[in-house]
Amino acid sequence: MGEGLGARWAALQPALAMLRRAGLRAGFAGWAGLGVLAVAAVLGVVGDAWIATQQEALQQQRARLQRSAAPQRAEPAPRARLEAYYTERFPPASALSERLSRIYAMAVQHGVEVRRADYRSVAERATPLQRVALVVPVQGDFPSIYRWLGAVLIDLPELGLESISIKRGGSEASVVEAELRLVMFLREGA
């Protein structure tokens, strides 16, 4: 046994001598740099362990907070959201006469004469809406008709313009006759 240990020690002697010579050549700056590297390695290992501990603690705290948080308000069912949309955006069918009165009143304000308005109502398939097709013949100067139509479409967002046809008596005539085809969507029921 003693021989094996002695042989190993003798084999290490050249390597130790070489390290001694390298240390002498490195001087104080070399040893200081080596010390800084060793301290940095130790701090890196200790810092990584500390960060992992903190991360695990934060994950546990997050899980506790999520469990104790008040339950969030449930999102309404798609059908309920759709019904709420129809209720908010479209007036009830019973408001048709009031809407027509607004159209006539705005025509008077803009100096447009509304002749007779014809309408027919049809249920819109797969929705709780009624499509009311209006044919509105009007007479007035074109700028007044244009301004009136713009104001009506802004005031009644449930109303849309399908078509307009304009007739002028002559090239010098300031009064035109127009036939407006409008469509209004109203909610069925009350």
pLDDT digits (tens, 9 = 90+) for 49-99: 888 898 999 899 888 888 777 666 667 788 888 788 878 888 898 999 999
What confidence tier does 177 reach under pLDDT thresholds 50, 70, 90?
A: very high
pLDDT digits (tens, 9 = 90+) for 103-127: 999 999 999 999 888 889 998 888 8
**Rounded mean pLDDT, 15-34:** 76
Q: How far separated are the first and last CA of the chain, in Å rounded?
A: 107
Confidence (pTM): 0.56
**Rounded mean pLDDT, 23-27:** 74
pLDDT digits (tens, 9 = 90+) for 132-163: 999 999 999 999 999 999 999 999 999 999 99
pLDDT at 190: 57
| Selection from 159, 148, 166, 165 nearest residue 182 by Cα | 159
Write down the residue that tokens 């740099």 correspond to.
33
State how far the Cα of 126 lies from the Cα of 86, in Å rounded to an integer. Answer: 13
Q: Are 147 and 153 a contacting pair, CB within 8 Å?
A: no
Give Cα 172 distance to the centre of its chain. 53
pLDDT at 26: 72
> In sequence order, which residues have a C-beta less than 8 Å from that of residue 11 and are 6 or more positions away?
none
Instruction: Decide if pLDDT at 1 tops 60.
Output: no
Helices (H), 110-168: 142-155
pLDDT at 48: 84
pLDDT at 72: 64
State how far the Cα of 177 lies from the Cα of 142, in Å rounded to an integer. Answer: 9
Higher local confidence (pLDDT), 47 or 140: 140
Q: Are 23 and 31 a contacting pair, CB within 8 Å?
A: yes
pLDDT at 161: 94
State how far the Cα of 111 lies from the Cα of 150, in Å rounded to an integer. Answer: 14
Instruction: Decide if pLDDT at 101 tops 80.
Output: yes
Tokens of 155: 């005031």
For residue 26, which amino acid is it?
A
Q: Is 125 helix (H, G, I), strand (E, B) or coil?
A: coil
**Rounded mean pLDDT, 19-35:** 76
